[in-house]
Amino acid sequence: MSGSVLITGGAGFIGSHLADELLRHGYRVRVLDSLVPQVHGPDAGRPSYLDLEVELIKGDVRDPAAVQKALIGTEAVFHMAAMVGVGQSMYEIERYTSANNCGTAVLLEAMAQARGDRKLIVASSMSIYGEGRYRDSSGACYDDVSREVGQLQRGDWEPLRDDREPLIPVPTPEEKTPSLASVYALSKYDQERMALIVGNCYRIPVIALRLFNVYGTRQALSNPYTGVLAIFASRLMNGNPPRIFEDGRQLRDFVSVHDVATGCRLALEVDQQKQQLFNIGSGANISVLQVLERFCEVLNLTAIEPEITGSYRAGDIRHCFADIKSAKEILGYAPRVPFVEGLRELANWL
Ligand code: UD2
């Protein structure tokens, strides 16, 4: 396929990089974006993030007329339009549910009515897993670790078995049972399920990509809830010490937005309908403290003393990083951007 592709929310952080990737591969790209700031001012989708070849339609994904118009002549859809802060989803409950759930409902209804055999790729999130997968020394698997049941406590950060044997974090595969801990996670899970159910009924091929900790240029710097690297960057630029929750040894999977854009394109191009859920991460893990160290090295900042809070942020998980075996085997996905290179690019953009 090398036709015309619609990206909802395509003027934002991930969507605009995806638009670049698709143009580079010969697609025609149309973007539907409300351009409405999400949180604190100007860090919404921006027309300036888009190549001049992209056709931009300003409109809300909850507006059926705008969506119907945007679908005309397209052969595939990436659904990226969403509210993305985990923290504020817990007090802007109506706004998140409206944008993420109703937005997906309107898009699906329009796709069902428009018929055709457009493929739909939904941007989902690792947030639906809650804590990642753990094993004990015998190899037994634990998919239900949570702070709520006391396995993780203040000052005792690592999850323990009932007999206090430490549990070992391992890569989280797609089959891990979801554990939804925020309205954001719930809305991402709903997006996946709704797309799969409606897609199945109307023969719309659907793939949902569970994105891990995506970082890179164009990420909102003023959103206090999204992206620890963006938060570190804005604190460092303003002369404030970065703040580290817990002990900083919590592990995450930081994946470059360029690798994510490639993963999205591969999901569009793959010719299979069996597996519909894929993790998109870097396949590696790194602690938050190491992230800060690497970032300071790249920025040539020495003697930065972070403020280590020793407490955990409400709703935070301890460890989660991606098992990307399925994406590798089925999509042909292979992350290419080394973390330090991605950090350098981010630093040059700041
Ligand atoms: C959340 C979502 C994820 C994605 C991501 C956006 C969950 C489980 N996951 O991941 O789906 O939406 O947000 O990037 O909800 N931290 C600090 N200092 C700070 C900020 C964060 O130490 O100033 C820590 C934080 O406690 C966490 C880690 O850094 O352990 C990563 O935080 P994040 O907000 O970048 O992303 P995360 O993993 O909560």
Residues 124-157 have pLDDT tens digits of: 999 999 999 999 999 999 998 877 655 555 557 8
Instruction: State the closest ligand 1 atom to the C-alpha of 248, by its place in the atom list counted from 1.
Output: 22
Q: What's the pLDDT tens digit per position in 159-170?
A: 888 888 889 999
- 74: CA distance to ligand 1 center in Å? 35
Q: How confident is the model at residue 123 (pLDDT cuts 50, 70, 90)?
A: very high
Q: How confident is the model at residue 38 (pLDDT cuts 50, 70, 90)?
A: low
Residue 53 has pLDDT above 80, yes or no: yes
The more confident residue out of 159 and 276 is: 276
Estimate to the nearest angstrom the gap between the alpha carbon of 218 and the chain centroid.
14
Taking the C-alpha atoms of residue 152 and residue 156, their distance in angstroms, rounded to an integer, is 6
Q: What's the pLDDT tens digit per position in 217-239?
A: 999 887 777 789 989 998 998 88
- 209: CA distance to ligand 1 center in Å? 18
Q: How confident is the model at residue 46 (pLDDT cuts 50, 70, 90)?
A: confident
- 226: CA distance to ligand 1 center in Å? 7
Instruction: State the closest ligand 1 atom to the C-alpha of 125, by its place in the atom list counted from 1.
Output: 11
- 224: CA distance to ligand 1 center in Å? 10
Domain that holds residue 22: 4-349
CATH number, domain of 241, equals 3.40.50.720
Q: What's the pLDDT tens digit per position in 237-248?
A: 888 999 999 999
- What the block records as the tokens of 159 is 């999850």
Q: Nearest 5°: CA angle at 227, between 224 and 233? A: 75
Contact status, residue 335 vs residue 253, Cβ threshold 8 Å: no
Average of per-residue pLDDT across 103-128: 96
Contact status, residue 318 vs residue 158, Cβ threshold 8 Å: yes
Q: Which residue has the tokens 């203040």?
A: 154
| Pocket (CB within 6 angstroms of ligand 1) | 84, 86, 125-127, 182, 185, 213, 226-228, 231, 243-245, 250, 252, 288, 313, 316-317
Q: What's the pLDDT tens digit per position in 328-346?
A: 999 999 999 999 999 999 9
Q: What's the pLDDT tens digit per position in 166-195?
A: 899 999 999 999 999 899 999 999 999 999
| Backbone phi, psi, residue 182, to 5° | -150, 160
Taking the C-alpha atoms of residue 170 and residue 12, their distance in angstroms, rounded to an integer, is 32
- 320: CA distance to ligand 1 center in Å? 10
- 313: CA distance to ligand 1 center in Å? 9
The number of distinct structural domains making up the chain is: 1
CB atoms within 10 A of CB 305: 7
Choose the residue to mutate in 228, 256, 309 for probing ligand 1, maximizing ligand atoms within 8 Å of C-beta: 228
Residue 349 has pLDDT above 60, yes or no: yes
